[in-house]
Amino acid sequence: MTVALIIYITLQLPLFSSTANFSEPQDKFSILKKETEAYFATLPSNIREDSELLVPDLIRKYGYPCENHTVVTPDGYILEMHRIPHGRKSFPDKRSVIYLQHGILASSADWVLPGPRKGFAYILADFGYDVWMSNVRGTRYSRKHTYLDPEKDSLEFWNFSWHEIGVIDVPIMIDYIINKTNENKLFYIGHSQGATVFYVMCSEKPQYNDKIKAMFSLAPIAFLKHMISPLLLIVAEFRTEILALYNVLNTYNFLPRNEFLAQLGDTLCNDNSTFQILCTNALFAICGFNEKQMNSSLLPIIMGHTPSGASVKQICHFAQGVKSGKFQRWDYGWVSNLDYYGDTSPPNYNLRNIYAPVYLFYSKNDWLVHELDVMKLHTELFNSIAVQVFDDHFNHMDYLYAINAPDLIYQRTIDIMKHYN
């Protein structure tokens, strides 16, 4: 573990790596980079275009309507939402509104990358739903603020965790959608951290339960005691040191250096698979992937859109849950906890405040979401139903990208939603 920390720190520090000669990781990275470039060069231009287009342009390219909406939070973050109001054919009757919430290091792109008939947002729009995709603070489309500069005021801009996303960003976007559409309730679908922030919102602001018809948690994260993600295990071990380090660097923007990820990828991935380029992606270094269900043509498109930006505090807040086994607010250390919470330890989120119906989709091969942790969440929620995915190889990112996700997840979700219409 100490060795891991030393590697982690030295590779994080731009200062160190520019003066010292880390030839080995550098070499590994440049080889990977060359391989990746060679691979990209063989791609059809259509795929290269999909990896470069912004989400609204990507959606319009495939003949779907797309609107771009912005909301400003009380603490100044400017958030962008992308809406597909209906499918390629518009339905005369008014259909329900769906709010899609992406996970960590992701964005609205998650729901459309696999293309029409495969991406969840397109499938929902084709069924006539009014689909809204959020982008939370810090991500590619919401890296804007009324007075802070994400680069110059880095420490202040990135000084948030998923707690702030759950109590500020998500509620304000839901209010905006409800106002715009004249509906009083919507369906909420969240992947990974997208489910976490829902539990934060409804436990801290229970009135939001009344705005939800039903909530679908895809690979929900709340309790993390049994997760096996190597990167999160490292962070869990050195949470305090990592935060201190970022503090010294004067930023909380989580941007691991590519050399570090190339090294990590080397130990995580099969040596000569095309999938190795994925291992250099922070998202997959945290979540892992399932080679069987991964459509290799999607790789460059995924790489073009992720990772999308996050605060290191989001990662550290998850790592805190790995250690404590609890779903609780940010731990400032016991002295400061007294100031913030009036107690030496941070309060737990009160899951008993959540009464909207919650469907928990989980799978056996998920690095981050262990069955035992889902069962704990299931017993703490009043109104939840656990739904196991019928594929034992299904991993964390498969909910978005797997070739069989439309059959295993999306169709099932739509069948359940029909009961609420």
Ligand X SMILES: *[C@@H]1O[C@H](CO)[C@@H](O)[C@H](O)[C@H]1NC(C)=O
Task: Determine which residue in the list 19, 272, 335, 415 makes contact with ligand X, applying CB under 6 A.
Answer: 272
192 noted as active-site residue = yes
Nearer to ligand X, 107 or 192 (CB): 107
Q: Which residue do the tokens 């996970």 mark?
A: 103
Task: Determine which residue in the list 19, 42, 45, 179 makes contact with ligand X, applying CB under 6 A.
Answer: 179
Q: Is 298 in the site for ligand X (CB under 6 A)?
A: yes
Q: In angstroms, what is the minimal distance from the CB of 291 to ligand X?
A: 10
Task: Determine which residue in the list 8, 29, 77, 80 makes contact with ligand X, applying CB under 6 A.
Answer: 80
CA–CA separation, 48 vs 304, rounded Å?
Answer: 9
Task: Determine which residue in the list 28, 83, 102, 118 makes contact with ligand X, applying CB under 6 A.
Answer: 118
Other beta carbons less than 10 A from residue 421's beta carbon: 9
Task: Determine which residue in the list 295, 324, 328, 350 makes contact with ligand X, applying CB under 6 A.
Answer: 295
β-pairing verdict for 130-133 and 186-191: unpaired
366 noted as active-site residue = yes
Taken in order 99, 100, 106, 111, the sign of the CA dihedral is negative
Q: In angstroms, what is the minimal distance from the CB of 23 to ligand X?
A: 3
In the sheet that holds 130-133, the strands lie side by side as: 67-72, 78-84, 130-133, 97-101, 186-191, 212-218, 358-362, 384-388
Nearer to ligand X, 205 or 225 (CB): 205
Q: In angstroms, what is the minimal distance from the CB of 102 to ligand X?
A: 15
Q: Is 268 in the site for ligand X (CB under 6 A)?
A: no
Task: Determine which residue in the list 4, 9, 403, 414 makes contact with ligand X, applying CB under 6 A.
Answer: 403
Task: Determine which residue in the list 65, 115, 116, 150 makes contact with ligand X, applying CB under 6 A.
Answer: 115
Q: In angstroms, what is the minimal distance from the CB of 115 to ligand X?
A: 4
Q: Is 398 in the site for ligand X (CB under 6 A)?
A: no
Q: Is 30 in the site for ligand X (CB under 6 A)?
A: no
Nearer to ligand X, 267 or 272 (CB): 272
Q: In angstroms, what is the minimal distance from the CB of 78 to ligand X?
A: 8
Q: In angstroms, what is the minimal distance from the CB of 233 to ligand X?
A: 25
Active-site choice (51, 107, 108, 192): 192
396 noted as active-site residue = yes
Q: Is 207 in the site for ligand X (CB under 6 A)?
A: no
Active-site choice (110, 373, 396, 398): 396
Q: In angstroms, what is the minimal distance from the CB of 62 to ligand X?
A: 10
Number of residues forming the site for ligand X (CB under 6 A):
21
Q: Which stretch binds ligand X (CB under 6 A): 9-17, 112-120, 129-137, 391-399?
A: 112-120
Q: Is 68 in the site for ligand X (CB under 6 A)?
A: yes
| 139 contact partners, CB below 8 Å, separation of at least 6 | 102, 106, 107, 308, 309, 310
CA–CA separation, 130 vs 90, rounded Å?
Answer: 10
Which residues are known catalytic residues? Answer: 192, 366, 396
Q: Which residues contribute to the site for ligand X (CB under 6 A)?
A: 21, 23, 54, 56, 68, 70, 80, 114-115, 118, 155-156, 159, 179, 270-272, 295, 297-298, 403
